[in-house]
Amino acid sequence: MDGVQKRLVIILLMAALIVAGSIYHYWQKTTVTETVASGPVVTAQSRTDEIVIYVSGAVNKPGVFKMPAGGRVLDAVNYAGGLAAGADSTRVNLAQPLKDGMHVHVPVVVLAAGPGGSNSAGGAGKVNVNTASANELDKLPGIGPALAQRIIDYRQSIGGFKDLEEVKKVPGIGEAKFNQIKDKISL
């Protein structure tokens, strides 16, 4: 081999080493990236030890609270400083389990008016959807015992109805059924 051929072989070997090194380097980066990406990903949503609850109404310190998971409505009320004067704890299921993002509303006691005034149901003959029993709700047109219980379950899950239109969110009550009962119900 003469000098030119030796140089050509050396240049080709060096080029092959550079290409091989580049491939090896690229392969190492890809392997590391894949390993990191396939590992467990921990996000704020995957945490199950804390929930966030909004407490409003007749409590001493209403607001949004981070609480340990597995608590009850009573725990949320205590986080909010306890029941305020005039709170109607009979209209809140204090034993209900809490869910992340839940709104707990503690209503105020509504006093019945004296003779000649309107009653606490919001008008003569009207059924208060926030305080009515299943039997009272069952007497409404188109509402049977099962639907009456769904109204009560939904009412407890949201902490009471704030607006009559919310009744339409109860499974089984559409626009037509709501129109049948809207003049017979109150808050």
What is the structure's pLDDT at 47? 57
- Phi and psi angles of residue 70, each rounded to the nearest 5 degrees, phi first: 90, 5
d(CA 102, CA 114): 37
Of residues 40, 72, 28, 65, the one with CA closest to residue 50:
65
pLDDT at 8: 86
- Answer yes or no: is 1 within a domain: no
Q: Has residue 139 been placed in a domain? A: yes
Question: How buried is 56 (Cβ within 10 angstroms: 0-12 exposed, 13-18 middle, 19+ buried)?
Answer: middle
Q: In the chain, how many domains are there? A: 2
Residues 95 and 134 in one domain: no
Over the stretch 106-137, which tens digit does the pLDDT of each residue have?
888 775 544 444 444 445 578 888 888 888 88
pLDDT band at 164 (very low <50, low <70, confident <90, very high): confident
Residues 101 and 134 in one domain: no
Confirm whether 14 is domain-assigned: no
**Is the domain of 132 the same as that of 181?**
yes
Range of the domain at 162: 127-186
Considering the domain architecture, whether residues 64 and 100 belong to the same structural domain is answered as yes
26 falls within a domain: no
CATH number at residue 169: 1.10.150.320
Structure tokens at 96: 């209900």
Whole-prediction pTM = 0.40
The answer to whether position 175 is within a domain reads: yes
Q: Assess if residue 151 is contained within a domain.
A: yes
Size (the chain), residues: 187
Domain membership of residue 37 (yes or no) is: no
> Has residue 36 got a pLDDT over 60?
no
Distances (CA, A) of 155 to 11, 59, 103, 166: 82, 19, 12, 9
Separation CA 78–CA 76 (nearest Å)? 5
